[in-house]
Amino acid sequence: MPEGKQPVLYVIGCGGRPAGGLPDLVTSLQSDGWTVCVISTPSGARFVDRALLAELTGYPVRVEYERPEEPPVLPLADAIAVVPATFNTINKWALGISDTLALGLLNEAIGLGLPLVAAPWPNTALARHPAFMPSVERLTTCGVSFVWDVERLPLPNSGEPGAASFPWSELHSEIGRIRTICTNRIGGGR
């Protein structure tokens, strides 16, 4: 990374209630020295305020790939955080499925060796599904750092917004650790 350049963090929001808290996370990360861009899964787009996030970051919230004739609108990522990481996204990511922009970026990021952090937010029943933990373990072996506590996950159909029990503080700390990795890279490390 060139001297004086802020590292770029892609925050990928998935379809979970904590995605509504992304504006506060974005402003906190910006004060830590990140350039933040938000990408959303199609389901996540229902949970985020795209206009507010675009205003905060200075970049559009991307949900779909650019058309071939369109120039890229986001700078290249130095790291990625998946907030919240849903059951669907974790399982598809572990299998290498790239049927959305968000998953395509996450799969490429593993191949590029970018620092990655995910904060899973399935409900308690989905967390016990037999496919879920093997997916988390597989992504962990690929270098993905996970921030979550199964005791804090919401119950199925609870209607709880989850913002109070979502691990925002732990996530912020882990993203800070990743920022140190990004700033210590020599020559950009892409």
Domain span including residue 90: 8-184
For 140-155, what is the mean pLDDT?
A: 92
Assigned domain for 2 exists: no
Assigned domain for 130 exists: yes
Average pLDDT, the chain: 91
Q: How many domains does the chain have?
A: 1
24-29 — which CB contacts under 8 Å span 24+ positions? 24/168, 25/83, 25/168, 25/171, 25/172, 26/53, 26/56, 26/57, 27/56, 28/172, 29/172, 29/175
Q: Residue 163's domain is classified under what CATH number?
A: 3.40.50.1950
pLDDT band at 5 (very low <50, low <70, confident <90, very high): confident
Q: What is the pLDDT of residues 27-75, one digit of tens each?
A: 999 999 999 999 999 999 999 999 999 999 999 999 999 888 999 999 9
Assigned domain for 123 exists: yes
Assigned domain for 189 exists: no
Assigned domain for 190 exists: no
Whole-prediction pTM:
0.93
